[in-house]
Amino acid sequence: MRKIGHLINGEQVLQGELLDVFNPSTGQVTSRVCMGDEALVAQAVAAAKAAFSAWRDTPPAKRARVMFRFKQLLEERADDICALISEEHGKTLEDARGELLRGIENVEYACGVPELLKGDYTRNVGPNIDAWSDFQPLGVVAGITPFNFPAMVPLWMYPMAIACGNCFILKPSEKDPSSSLLVAALLKEAGLPDGVMGVVHGGKAAVDALLNHKQVKGISFVGSTPIAEYIYARGTANGKRVQALGGAKNHAVFMPDADLDNAVNALMGAAYGSCGERCMAISVAVCVGDAVADALIAKLEPEIHALKIGPGTQRGLDMGPVISREQLTRIEGYIQAGVEQGAELTVDGRGLQVPGHEQGYFLGGCLFDRVTPEMSIYREEIFGPVLCVVRVASLEAAIELINAHEYGNGTCIFTRDGEAARLFGDEIEVGMVGINVPLPVPVSYHSFGGWKRSLFGDLSAYGPDSVRFYTRRKTITQKWPERASHEASQFAFPSL
């Protein structure tokens, strides 16, 4: 059986205990991944540290040329990358391609690093005194990424980190590790020197080793809120710069004037695409008025029943399986809890059998009506194809409902009313907002990040914030005295 190793100093390292990697569509083991420990992390960090000085001193334009070539290789090998994603994650090939394309956008942004790293210069801030700022890399930085976007989320991180002159260690999810290694191999093929990019697989032992290692200067994380909070607390306690993106409970508000036909089409993809295993998935539909709720549910139910579900590697599907047997059991537990707590399950996707894939981790789309804020299906992130409908009396009540939730990742509103849209955009306490856009994921030259317990740290992911996260500003003030001039000592604090 194929073994998946680590990437250290440009070479594959088959070291550590082996963990099974499953195909979610079949429930069968397809490979085994080596799990790293503290000693292996130390090897990866040592290789990155050794490569840092030369890479830091490489001109930004040359670093950008590696990114240009990397982008080309990603496009050329897209089919191979997407096939690995679908095989190990379960998402459809079309969804995998969409994920990869959004990741490539971040490589494109990193290609502009010579411009992005330009500092400020001011001549004559004082008599014969000039000042300028410079943005310098941190050193060795690391990224810890989730299973749901094995290509895109890492591409949020290391293209810009590396383009800024850092060396990077990726700790991808052990559930779907293969695409990370293929993409890293393409980066080497693009001309990246050995040691600048490393990949270490593992669980908590590897994560803690990265958090504790003194030479790791920054950590980027995407995952659940409890783990994000842990990583932020431990990383910052160890003096590291940390950005930790956590969980979400994303609401979509439907106003009485919304174009429900278009809104339903948008909601179907936002709620059930990738089996709801997206941090920006819409999991709560907030309907302003009973009439809106009744009409929305009437339109949703036949669409949910018509979802095309099967193995992710088969084309033309709407959904594949969820990532694992454990995840399937967890989601089904939430569904049962919702029923027991009084929500009305109008579409029940449990017990779905896909012919020829009876051992796969399949779950049909589920729809709850009359969900209330006290229910666990409303409070907690389910991370599955489960949509909850909540009924409110007004837009103000919808805003109050959303603002009261502990998460503040993404939200959207469907309306034709510009005044309502403006009020919503101004008053909502959420980091990413859509107006008639169900998945308001920022493009690569903006930044991605929620509010409240959806983000720990001061800087969001990718875009302009990534340049600031992966660099430190240094401000230099210099003076060249005129010849034969003699200045008296000055003991007061200097001023103009």
Question: Rounded to 5 degrees, what are φ and ψ at 333?
Answer: -65, -40
3-state secondary structure 25-86: CCCEEEEEEEECCHHHHHHHHHHHHHHHHHHHCCCHHHHHHHHHHHHHHHHHCHHHHHHHHH
Query: Which of the following is catalytic: 82, 279, 388, 412?
Result: 279
CA distance 288 to 417: 14
Exposure string (b/e) for 189-218, b if CB count within 10 Å is 16 or more?
A: ebebeebbbbbbbbeebbbbbbbebeebbb
Are 478 and 494 in contact by the 8 Å Cβ rule? The answer is no
461 secondary structure, DSSP code = B
111 secondary structure, DSSP code = T
Residues 6+ apart with CB under 8 A from 242: 218, 219, 220, 221, 231, 232, 235, 236, 456, 457
Beta bridge partners of 168: 141, 197
Are 160 and 126 in contact by the 8 Å Cβ rule? The answer is no
Residues 6+ apart with CB under 8 A from 445: 109, 463, 464
Are 293 and 287 in contact by the 8 Å Cβ rule? The answer is yes
Question: Rounded to 5 degrees, what are φ and ψ at 203?
Answer: -110, -140
Are 368 and 386 in contact by the 8 Å Cβ rule? The answer is yes
Question: CA angle, 75 as apex, 74 and 79 as ends, to 5°?
Answer: 90
Active site residue 279: yes
| Count of other CB atoms within 10 angstroms of residue 229 | 14
CA distance 333 to 280: 22
Q: Return the axis-axis angle of helices 60-76 and 78-89, rounded to nearest 10°.
A: 70
Question: Rounded to 5 degrees, what are φ and ψ at 421?
Answer: -65, -40
What positions carry a catalytic annotation? 279
